[in-house]
Amino acid sequence: MKNRTLFFGEGLFETFRVYKGRKLAFVEDHLDRMAEGCRFFTLPFSRRKAVDALKSALDDVPATAEARLRLSLNCHGDHGVAKTTFETTCEPLKQMSTQQGQGVELSVAPFQRFSKSPLVRFKTTSYLENIFVFTWARGEGFFDALFTNERGEITEGSITNVFFLDKGHIVTPPIDAGLLAGITRKQIIRVARARGFSVSESTVRPEDLNGFDGAFVTNSVIEALPVCTVGDTHYPISEMIEDIQQGYRERVKISLW
């Protein structure tokens, strides 16, 4: 039976941060998103088997370590998807203390993406655009690069969602700009509002960047990292970001699985 994930990039994945004690955060949110992707692409999905795969992978992680864990849903079949299987990979998590303190540098990706493509809405294994931009960004000395869509609007990074600070207000690009609805993105919005910050999902263009007074990027592994530059625009490291980071860590603690 043909491995359709290998041949065609037909499949889905979720990435988790493994916390000390072999713990994961927001597992139900991740599995809900994978299940939604399976419904959209009409792929078989077993939540029980996904959970079993995660538990088995965690058994191999040292209890005192932190790690990056990827759960892949692979597709098999000769003339369409006949079945799906789960695969996990895990690697130790690198320290990010310097990036937390000094912030990370971003650029703008060298090409645009189409906002209506379903491939930007789900974590699919058709990931070559993201890999290309991530590799390009790192080769140029940046942490990540921000995509723009066909209308010239900023959407997301190759591995991150992005937030901007505007005089105490938080702005993040809307889902319909063409981006992944990140699990951490959702939690950060909830944390920010719970801590009294106003948040809007609004259109952001490259020419708007110098009008903001701060920025940060998020994903499940890095949590929230301050941004010090986007291209030629420089940002200070705001105490507001530290407050959101703290709120997110508190939310993680009560969600551990």
Q: What are the residues facing 91 on neighbouring strands? A: 68
Instruction: Check residue 100 and give its pLDDT.
Output: 63
Q: Are 148 and 157 in contact, with CB atoms under 8 Å apart?
A: no
Sign of CA dihedral 66, 227, 247, 50: negative
Q: Quickly state the pLDDT bin for 144 (edges 50, 70, 90).
A: very high
- Answer whether residue 217 shows pLDDT above 90: yes
Question: How far apart, in whole angstroms, are the C-alpha atoms of residue 56 and residue 89?
Answer: 11
Burial class (CB in 10 A: 0-12, 13-18, 19+), 85: middle
Question: How far apart, in whole angstroms, are the C-alpha atoms of residue 98 and residue 101?
Answer: 5
Class of domain 97-255: alpha beta
SS3 47: helix
pTM value surpassing 0.85: yes
Q: Are 74 and 3 in contact, with CB atoms under 8 Å apart?
A: yes
Each residue's pLDDT tens digit, 79-102: 999 999 999 999 998 875 556 668
Q: Where in the chain is the domain with CATH 3.20.10.10?
A: 97-255
Q: Are 7 and 29 in contact, with CB atoms under 8 Å apart?
A: no
- Backbone phi and psi for residue 243, each to the nearest 5 degrees, phi listed first: -65, -45
- Residue in 182, 180, 194 with CA at minimum distance from that of residue 251: 194
Q: Quickly state the pLDDT bin for 257 (edges 50, 70, 90).
A: confident
Q: Are 104 and 226 in contact, with CB atoms under 8 Å apart?
A: yes
Mean pLDDT within 54-66: 93
Largest CA distance in the chain: 57
Question: How far apart, in whole angstroms, are the C-alpha atoms of residue 189 and residue 173?
Answer: 12
Please state which architecture CATH assigns to domain 4-92. Answer: 2-Layer Sandwich (3.30)
SS3 178: coil
